[in-house]
Amino acid sequence: MAPTKTQRMRALLKQGLVVSPGVYDGYSVRLVEQAGFQAASTTGAGLANSRLSQPDIGIMTLRDNVDACHHIARSVSIPVMSDADNGYGNAVTVYHTVQYFEEAGVVGINIEDQVIPKRCGHMRGKELISANEMAKKIEAAIRARTDPDFIINARTDAIAVEGIEGAIRRARIYLSAGADMLYPDAIRSEDQIQRFVDEVKAPVSISMGLGLRGRPTTPIVSVKRLAKIGVARVSYSRMLTAAAIKGMKNALQAFKDSLDSDQPAERTDLVASADEISELMGYAFINELESQFLPEDQLEKKYGSANEVDYVVRGHQYPGERA
């Protein structure tokens, strides 16, 4: 029997540092898989920003998050972990939160020790629940999961409030409560990362702020250096959202600049081609299914002659589209 996604994620963590780009929709997660990365992680801020057009300040609901993660996880073969914010309530709520995310097909979740409403880890003004309350949330999470390989990643935002000493103290409590991995968010230096790894003595997840220029929280540390330090997993939560925003701004500006020109805007350097989008989103597979399972008269009615049907299937075009 082939290993499950959760088993594969556990195996990756045992092999060494897992690099996990942050994703927020079908395009981004498919691109991560296509680029050859072995894992991905959803970004709570990216989902809140893109789906709700709101800051990451606790407005996104449990169902908003779970529904998005379900569609993301099912669209790729690589394991995907998710950001479950603060579990959307108390320990009893966390019990149900874990089950919803497990059913969504992700391989684990981050749960943080912020109060409700929470806020993005790189924002000011964070407040924490007690370490004991967070420990109870973790215990409930462990009790709730049906797959023992489903990962509970306990995130602490204590560095901004209680300093590195407080973060380490909390991490040890969360580890004793059953957490599989510890995640000190907005950790402030490479030395702090090293100290956290050395003193907690458990798998540690770090978020790198690639795409967060001007936010002096976690510095950018190379993947090679993080592996040497002993970090188990590194996520790049904002890299793809920041890249997408920059790309869209550049394309819009180029288009706007062309409005008064007699020549249409055709900047192939700024956009993906139709073939690239078709390949990324799996249109060829839909064409293959149609060619195998639709009666010939339906295919001919949809696409015309048999030769055209064959061309569409073999050419990986959109259904009915000609080059």
- Tell me the per-residue pLDDT of 56-111, one tens digit each, with 9 for 90 and over: 888 999 999 999 999 999 999 999 999 999 999 999 999 999 999 999 999 999 99
Buried b (16+ CB within 10 A) or exposed e, 201-218: ebbbbbbbbbbbeeeebb
Mean pLDDT estimate for the chain: 91
234 against 308, higher pLDDT = 234
Residue 57 inside a domain? The answer is yes
Domain region containing 109? 5-237
Nearest Cα neighbor of 203 from 266, 255, 155 is 155
Do 89 and 134 belong to one domain? yes
Residue 118 inside a domain? The answer is yes
Final residue of a domain: which of 237, 261, 291?
237
Do 173 and 297 belong to one domain? no
Nearest Cα neighbor of 232 from 272, 279, 183 is 183
Q: Model pTM?
A: 0.90
My answer on whether omega of the bond before 216 falls inside 30° of 0, hence cis, is no
Query: pLDDT exceeding 70 applies to what percent of the chain?
Result: 92
Do 131 and 277 belong to one domain? no
- The tally of domains found in the chain comes to 2
Strand order in the sheet with 108-112: 181-184, 151-156, 108-112, 80-83, 40-42, 18-23, 233-236, 205-207
Angle at 120 between CA 27 and CA 36, to 5 degrees: 30
Residue 13 inside a domain? The answer is yes
Cβ-based neighbour number of residue 224 at 10 Å: 9
Query: pLDDT exceeding 90 applies to what percent of the chain?
Result: 78
Do 221 and 318 belong to one domain? no
Task: Output the domain CATH number for residue 214.
Answer: 3.20.20.60
Give the rounded distance of the alpha carbon of 271 from its chain centre: 23
Sign of the torsion angle spanned by Cα atoms 69, 37, 244, 220:
positive
Residues 264-306 pLDDT 10s: 888 999 999 999 999 999 999 998 999 999 998 998 888 886 5
Residue 261 inside a domain? The answer is no
Q: Does residue 21 sit in helix, strand or coil?
A: strand
Do 93 and 189 belong to one domain? yes
- CA dihedral angle for residue 288, residue 293, residue 298, residue 300, rounded to 10 degrees: 40
Do 65 and 143 belong to one domain? yes
Residue 321's pLDDT band, with cuts at 50, 70 and 90, is very low
Residues 126-149 pLDDT 10s: 899 999 999 999 999 999 999 999
Query: What pLDDT sits at residue 309?
Result: 47
Q: What is the largest CA-CA distance in the chain?
A: 72
Do 56 and 194 belong to one domain? yes
Is 270 exposed, middle or buried, given 0-12, 13-18 or 19+ CB atoms closer than 10 A? middle
